[in-house]
Amino acid sequence: MKAKPLAYAEKLETLLKRSGIDRLEYGQQQFLRQQCLDYRFTQQELQQLSDIAVDLAMWGERPLDQVWPDAESGNLNPKQRRQRLLGRLSAHWRQLKQRPKRYPRLPPKVTQDRQRIKHVEVDKERLALGPCPVASPRTRCCNLMTLDAVENCGFDCSYCSIQSFYHGDEVRFDRDFASKLARLELDPQRSYHIGTGQSSDSLMWGNRGDVLDALLEFAWRNPNVILELKSKSKNVSHLMKSELPPNLIATWSLNTPTLIAHEEHLTAPLEERLQAARRLADRGVLVGFHLHPMIHYAEWQEEYGAMLQSVLHSFSAEEVVMVSLGTLTYIKPVIKQLRERKGFRSKILQMPMVESDGKLTYPREIKEQMFSFAYQSLQPWHEDVFFYLCMENQRLWRPVFGYEYASNQDFEAAMKQAYLDKIAANGNAR
């Protein structure tokens, strides 16, 4: 005998659980539960509603119960009534994504659990050296090789995909990193561009696990390697007391003070990053800056403008080897993961998104506007500093820079030549 279908009220808790209602604060859960008994939403509609509710909370916008539309009058059937309601709520949600977001003056408090980090030593089978993990055949890429000296990061940037690779608060140091690196054999006839800073921050741990000493030794032993240490840290103390090879470049990811405060938690403030870069440049180390991700918000132009002016005034073109520009790109699992972070407050997903090259990102006009503004703001450096777009479609290059590379190989070759020329010129100047 066929089982009698469950009444809506009986299956409601299952529907709610599957829609991820537990990501919401209790009050919003109760409100949604109440509305379900009135509207009898399907699983899919409930998923959409709870995602909207999660986003409104994450963005610090008015919560679901405060933007819930008044009930429609007129004789709509139950399905039409639900669709009208969802249509109006989605329109509100889209409008909040389309218009430039505004960050409140004060950033959210950084909670204790964000600061809890455990350093562990692990035995890794092999050296984590390989092609850049975010490179894509659909974007114009520099074929960077990445070296993961440490796994997982102590900083907590809300947009960072490292979190989707490494879960939890363990930061793993390869017990045998130094000897593996010492045994690495490279082709002396070839030049290599190898970067650290993709799987963790290159400088925040100092010389823990003798990682920095091993990297410096590696660069001294391989003058055909351009070794790039990428960071958001101010911690240059160990480098300041070390013999630094000419083929070492130190690069910082920069963002506006508003974005650092709201979206790059626990990282060094802008001023301290620039001071750290200044200290190394004073020691003759070539430095560089990654404006990645540039983020579009109400005050983006004036705040990026001010930041780029201070960079221009703090460094000469001779000291700076590169500037890269890039922006937010997401794969769906990272968006899902961000929505699952309980109590997570960030406006990072409050943005217009289009599908491009297999990822979700800003519409092309916004990218062109931001990148062109940044490039033009550094006009005095155009002749002497190597500029590039990171992880972007080749069609963006010409509108932004007025030139483009026909292939990733050409891009890679041009980048390496520019870096090696600067290293040679800098070597003579040292």
- Residues engaged in binding ligand SF4 (CB under 6 A): 132, 134-135, 141-144, 390-391
Shorter beta-carbon distance to ligand SF4: residue 132 or 360: 132
CB-side neighbour CA atoms (13 Å) of 173 = 18
Helix 300-314 and helix 270-282, axial crossing angle in degrees, nearest 10: 20
Q: In this structure, what token pair is assigned to residue 375?
A: 């490039």
Output the smallest distance, CB 135 to ligand SF4, in A.
Answer: 4
The helices-and-strands tally (H runs, E runs) of the chain is 16, 16
Q: Which residue has the tokens 């802008």?
A: 270
Q: Which two tokens stand for residue 408?
A: 């990733």
Nearer to ligand SF4 by C-beta: 15 or 325? 325
Alpha carbons 217 and 209: distance in angstroms, whole number = 14
Q: Taking the complex as a whole, how short is the minimal distance between the CB of residue 387 and ligand SF4, in angstroms?
A: 12
Please state the closest distance from residue 330 (CB atom) to ligand SF4, in A. 14
360, two tokens: 């979700």
Q: Is the dihedral of CA 176, 155, 257, 134 positive or negative?
A: positive
Q: How far is the CB of 399 from ligand SF4 (least distance, A)?
A: 18
Peptide bond connecting 293 to the previous residue in cis, omega within 30 degrees of 0: yes
Token couple for 70: 């008044």
* CB nearer to ligand SF4: pick between 276 and 390: 390
Tell me whether residue 137 or residue 188 sits nearer to ligand SF4 (CB atom).
Answer: 137
Cα distance between residue 357 and residue 201, in whole Å: 27
Of residues 378 and 391, the one with the C-beta less far from ligand SF4: 391
Pick between residue 141 and residue 285 the one whose CB is nearest to ligand SF4. 141
Measured from the CB of residue 272, what is the shortest distance to ligand SF4 in angstroms?
24
Least distance CB 411 / ligand SF4 (angstroms)? 8
In order of 45, 159, 294, 305, 355, the CA distances from 373 in angstroms are 41, 22, 11, 8, 23
Distance from C-alpha of 32 to C-alpha of 16, rounded to nearest angstrom: 9
In the complex, minimum distance from the CB of residue 415 to ligand SF4, in angstroms, rounded to a whole number: 8
Residue 96 or 389 with smaller CB distance to ligand SF4: 389
